[in-house]
Structure 1
């Protein structure tokens, strides 16, 4: 049980939750768009997608920790490798096993899932591994995160589900809207995630947007990007998405937009704990979006 607790911490739980919700949301949106119900067969297919994506998720975040041990001892000292709860060899073993399992399960499940997982792992490797190590460059670091979370996962999984559900429908307006929302929202996550890590990044020459333009500018930019996400999604619901529950869709997004501004009004940018809590709040908003879309399609 101790090992499992450490593994859970190593897997970066907020990313696991986000990946799980994206798998579920796209599954239910695919069912709604094709008129299919939940069956034993497509439920097993969804579980295979989930397991492959979770393994890929652990590979990517674990690989990043393997090459950031010294930085994490300053920025995130409670992570297993930085704290010594995992040895380097244990971390390497977990990353290797999960990477192999992700590709193996995806390959056995279908070509679209294999392409989705393989591209995600490739980008995740380029993000962390030297000599490329794209995380050193603010633009490319953000590009890696938004490409995987915003484009590859959403479009790849929808195409996989469509293939398995024998759907002839191309990407529909709901998937495009969700993809655009997540794409922009991930920009906010990508630029804000380094605000709590200023000290370690500066010491080890990891150039981030926070170091370039400062914490207040990054904070306001992230909040502005998320606000645009909500306003754009509300507009899409009013003028483009014709067969969902409009009142629920618009009201829920207005509530979340108001909650964002209420929660951000008194964040102390000099308090690392306050910044970290607000970053987790941003992830919670991200989670909720993957719940709202399928609910609005089914209600």
Structure 2
């Protein structure tokens, strides 16, 4: 059996999805407050770990175990279309898992631990017997942690060689919780296929309207928690910036809720952008010594 073309492998690994964990990793770097100029090899290695390795592993594993769902929802994806033949999709996921673990180990114990947790959640999300994605409550929580919390933790750890303090962990967990709502937005495009194959995403379980309202509440309340933490730590200016971004999101949410299925992708591109800008503002608060 011939090997797949590099272009098909790259499509399987979905580079567009790497942005979220790489951004969160960058926020972790900023929040550490550490000078980065002399640590650029670690920064580059960490970016590779967060995006092209761990995140790409999760995409390859998901496409392999979702190949029957994709045959309905996205038949042109590399595996159902036959451009990645046989069991190549599984082998790519396994190879990327090994590469991710090896690089994580090279970057220190804290980074290795975060990488192992991320990889375990990536496989648990897609693979039997757990297959967390069968239930939107569990699956979205796993992805939110992998895409936001763990990369943030990793970014702070990779340049300090120790586990980050509780301020970093608090913000990472809050933004991971909010990312549960972002993951719900991603599920709107696959309602028919998920329903047909028994994948109980939140839009399937709750219906599009209720799922959309839940996603908005989850994203907003997580940011309210961030604002409260920043105020408590004395970073009022940064709290105001996050608050202003949240108000702009609420205005966009009102439009999204008028047509959740039709506007889910639109809100994902607009409201989520404001959400991640707030992440960076919060990271700069920690870099400036908030709460110390």
TM-score bracket for the superposition, by shorter chain length: 0.7 to 0.9
Alignment of 1:1-299 (within 5 A): 6-30=8-32, 32=33, 36-40=34-38, 42-54=39-51, 55-163=53-161, 171-173=165-167, 175-240=168-233, 242=234, 244=235, 246-247=236-237, 249-267=238-256, 272-297=261-286
Structure 1 residue 157: deviation in Å? 4.3
Change (3 A) 1:208 1:123: same
The CA RMSD measured in Å over matched residues stands at 2.9
Q: Cα gap change, 1:85/1:122 in structure 2, threshold over 3 Å: closer, same or farther?
A: same
Q: For residues 20 and 152 of structure 2, what CA distance do their matches in structure 1 show?
A: 12
Question: Partners of 2:179 and 2:260 in 1: how far apart?
Answer: 23
Distance 2:28 2:37 in 1: 16
Deviations 1:137-165 (A, max 9, x none): 2332233223434544333543443226x
SS in 1 for 2:130: coil
| Cα drift, residue 216 of structure 1 | 0.6
Matched residues, number: 284
Q: 1:258 to 1:170 in 2, by over 3 A?
A: closer
Return the alpha-carbon distance in structure 2 between the equivalents of residues 92 and 80 of structure 1: 12
Q: CA deviation at 1:29?
A: 1.6
Q: Where does the alignment leave 5 or more consecutive residues of structure 2 unmatched?
A: none
Q: TM-score, normalised by structure 1?
A: 0.82
The answer to whether the 8 A contact 1:215-1:269 is kept is no
Note the residue ranges of structure 1 that are not aligned, 5 or more in a row.
Answer: none
Which stretch shows the higher mean deviation, 249-258 or 112-121?
A: 249-258
Question: How far apart are residue 185 of structure 1 and its match?
Answer: 0.9
Q: 1:149–1:183: 8 Å Cα contact kept in structure 2?
A: yes
What does the per-residue CA deviation read over 1:188-246, in whole Å, with 9 as the maximum and x for residues that have no partner?
Answer: 12333322211000111112222222111110111112221232222222222x2x5x3
- TM-score normalised by structure 2 residue count: 0.83
For residues 64 and 284 of structure 1, the distance between their equivalents in structure 2, rounded to whole angstroms, comes to 24
> What is the CA–CA distance in structure 2 between the aligned matches of 1:257 and 1:190, rounded to whole Å?
18
